[in-house]
């Protein structure tokens, strides 16, 4: 069975050919993205939201050629550097302090959200069987690192809050991908066994941890070996996230976890061993790369919506937009309940003198900010587009276009609704959390 964006037979020549066919359009979009990002900075609007709106607008233009997103490109070109940069810049000490909350949201909440969305979709949407409902739930179960970082940057949120948001969205992709894998297995008639699912989940996480740790040690050795060659060191740091991700996926373990571990390890090595000139050059280089990738991916998400919209029967469009709104609100409600429950559990554990540090605690205002910052994004989009066209029996994948439409609509509702209001929420609720 194919894993979304992972077990595709990666054909580099086909990807390069596809990029070359659309290179003029890509250059134009990059120019528009840079201009829109500059306008967003001047007007204090969240850049990802403005880029989404721009992408949707351009996508409806008659002269705009269709750009079909390839999950291989999304997962390989965009995800590793964005995850690596986020992990590199996160405080390892604060990550460790908040590991209880991060693991609760990144693992437990993902599976709770999958089940919650599945129940709602099954009873709300005509023809949505239980297996299909769980596929949809798994696609939309995880918050997105790129969205969280792109929209919360510059809002002045407390470091503890930023660490929880980034830590959760760095780890939960692996949980969502595994939940999706088992949901598709159930749809194809493969027997689902809980102990086998749990074992495979642990193996995927453990394998990702091992490969990330190994590649971190290897990169550390190579950086020390080439320490007098600034360009070689910076180039190695650019290349290694991609190599780590591909190596992990080759062994069918979590590439997301492997890249996150690599980023955390290199962050620690950078603070302890890197000369200041390499730190400065590397930081400037990565700032440009992340700026371009981060902006372009939100523009592409916006461009994808008109393409999927054209494939939907006109009579289904508004009902399915309504279904997407209900699912987006339900996912937000489930997150709200779980975050506040985590706040209560931490406080109770601390008062009961369990091994919980005071720094790991947070109040109700922070709980609301954490809830509101949980947006869906790039990974949900890539998984949805990566749905197989047919089942193993050769039959068409049931309701495939409807699931893709719902997924993109929920992502857009989440990013636009929460993204536009997040600056106000942050100002309103973070006054007493700093």
What string of DSSP letters covers 7-76?
Answer: SS---HHHHHHHHHHTHHHHHHHHHHHHHHHHHHHHHT--HHHHHHHHHHHHHT-TTPPP-PPPHHHIII
Task: Give CA–CA dist 35/22, Å, rounded.
Answer: 20
155 within a domain of the structure (yes/no)? yes
Residue 2 lies in a domain: no
Taking phi first (over 0 means left), then psi (-120 to 50 degrees means alpha), and beta for anything else, what does residue 232 get?
A: alpha
Domain membership flag for residue 3: no
CA atoms in the 13 A half-sphere facing the CB of 191? 3
Check residue 78 and report its DSSP letter.
I
Q: What is the pLDDT of residue 368?
A: 93
pLDDT digits (tens, 9 = 90+) for 182-240: 787 777 666 556 667 677 778 888 999 999 999 999 998 888 888 788 888 888 888 99
Give residues with Cβ within 8 angstroms of 137, minimum separation 6.
Answer: 113, 114, 115, 116, 117, 118, 121, 179, 183
Of the ranges 6-20, 79-93, 130-144, the best mean pLDDT one: 130-144
pLDDT value at position 431? 58
The whole domain housing 216 covers 12-429
E strands, 149-196, are none
| Residue 174, pLDDT score | 76
Q: What pLDDT score was predicted for residue 5?
A: 41
pLDDT at 377: 81
Judge whether 4 lies within some domain.
Answer: no
User: Which domain CATH number covers 134?
Assistant: 1.20.1530.20
Least confident range of 121-130, 176-185, 399-408: 176-185
Q: How far is CA 196 from CA 7, 130, 191, 201, 203, in A?
A: 20, 20, 10, 8, 10
Identify the band that residue 308 occupies on the pLDDT scale cut at 50, 70 and 90: confident
CB 284 within 8 A of CB 112: no
What is the structure's pLDDT at 8? 41
6 or 403: which carries more pLDDT confidence? 403
Among 69-73, 78-82, 257-261, name the one with the lowest average pLDDT.
Answer: 69-73
Mean pLDDT throughout 7-34?
66
Residue 109 pLDDT greater than 70, yes or no = yes
Residue 132 has pLDDT above 80, yes or no: yes
**Banded pLDDT at 4 (limits 50, 70, 90):** very low
For 416, what's the count of Cα atoms within 13 Å in the CB-facing half-sphere?
17
Q: Is the pLDDT of residue 392 over 90?
A: no
Which carries the bigger pLDDT value, residue 126 or residue 180? 126
Residue 92 has pLDDT above 80, yes or no: no
User: Residue for token digits 């693992």?
Assistant: 107
Report if residue 28 sits inside a domain: yes
- pLDDT at res. 76: 81
238 burial (CB, 10 Å; 0-12 / 13-18 / 19+) is: middle
The whole-number pLDDT of residue 403 equals 93
Task: In whole angstroms, give the CA distance from residue 241 to residue 79.
Answer: 9
- Structural domain count, the chain: 1
**Helix/strand/coil percent split, the chain, to 5:** 80, 0, 20
Q: How many CB atoms are located within 10 Å of the residue 246 CB?
A: 14
Rounded Cα distance between 149 and 140, Å, is 18
406 — pLDDT class (breaks 50, 70, 90):
very high
Contact 145, 170 (CB under 8 A): yes
d(CA 264, CA 257) in angstroms, rounded, equals 10
With respect to residue 176, please indicate whether it lies within any of the assigned structural domains.
yes
pLDDT, mean of residues 271-293: 80
Mean per-residue pLDDT over the chain, rounded: 83
Tell me what percent of the residues of the chain surpass a pLDDT of 70: 88
Task: Say if residue 278's pLDDT is above 90.
Answer: no
**Structure-model confidence comparison of residues 122 and 71, the more confident one:** 122
pLDDT at 213: 95
Cα 179 to Cα 386: distance, rounded to the nearest angstrom: 15
Q: Name the more confident of 66 and 39.
A: 39
Q: Averaged over 352-372, what is the pLDDT?
A: 86
5-17 average pLDDT score:
50
Q: CB-based burial of residue 304 (10 Å sphere; 0-12 exposed, 13-18 middle, 19+ buried)?
A: buried
pTM equals: 0.82
5 found inside a domain: no
217, part of any domain? yes
């Amino acid at each position: 069975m194919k894993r979304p964006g992972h077990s595709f037979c990666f054909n580099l020549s086909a990807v390069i050919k596809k990029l070359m066919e659309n290179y003029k359009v890509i250059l134009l979009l990059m120019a528009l993205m840079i201009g829109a990002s500059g306008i967003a900075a001047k007007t204090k609007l969240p850049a990802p939201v403005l880029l989404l709106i721009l992408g949707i607008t351009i996508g409806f233009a008659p002269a705009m050629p269709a750009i079909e997103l390839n999950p291989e490109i999304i997962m390989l070109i965009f995800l590793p550097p964005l995850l690596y940069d986020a992990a590199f810049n996160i405080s390892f000490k604060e990550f460790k302090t908040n590991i209880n909350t991060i693991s609760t949201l990144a693992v437990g909440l993902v599976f709770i959200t999958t089940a919650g969305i599945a129940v709602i979709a099954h009873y709300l949407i005509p023809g949505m069987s239980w297996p299909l409902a769980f596929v949809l739930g798994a696609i939309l179960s995880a918050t997105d690192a790129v969205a969280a970082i792109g929209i919360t940057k510059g809002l002045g949120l407390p470091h503890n809050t930023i660490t929880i948001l980034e830590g959760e969205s760095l780890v939960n992709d692996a949980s969502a991908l595994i939940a999706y894998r088992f949901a598709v297995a159930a749809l194809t008639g493969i027997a689902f066994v809980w102990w086998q699912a749990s074992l495979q989940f642990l193996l995927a996480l453990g394998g990702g941890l091992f490969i990330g740790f190994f590649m971190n040690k290897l990169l550390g050795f190579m950086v020390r070996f080439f320490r007098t060659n600034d360009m070689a060191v910076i180039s190695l740091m650019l290349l290694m996230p991609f190599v780590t991700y591909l190596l992990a996926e080759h062994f069918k373990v979590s590439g997301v976890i492997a890249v996150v571990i690599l980023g955390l390890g290199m962050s620690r090595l950078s603070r302890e061993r890197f000369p200041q000139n390499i730190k400065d050059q590397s930081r400037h280089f990565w700032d440009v790369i992340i700026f371009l990738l981060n902006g372009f991916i939100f523009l592409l998400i916006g461009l994808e919506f008109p393409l999927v919209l054209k494939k939907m029967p006109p009579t289904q469009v508004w009902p399915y937009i309504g279904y997407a709104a209900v699912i987006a609100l339900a996912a937000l409600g489930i997150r709200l309940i779980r975050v506040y429950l985590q706040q209560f559990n931490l406080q109770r554990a601390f008062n009961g003198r369990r091994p919980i540090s005071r720094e790991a605690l947070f109040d109700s205002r922070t709980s609301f900010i954490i809830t509101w910052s949980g947006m869906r994004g790039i990974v949900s989009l890539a998984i949805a587009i990566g749905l197989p066209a047919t089942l193993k029996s050769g039959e068409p994948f049931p309701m495939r276009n409807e699931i893709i439409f719902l997924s993109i609509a929920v992502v857009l509702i989440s990013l636009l609704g929460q993204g536009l209001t997040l600056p106000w929420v942050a100002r309103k609720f973070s006054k007493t959390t700093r």
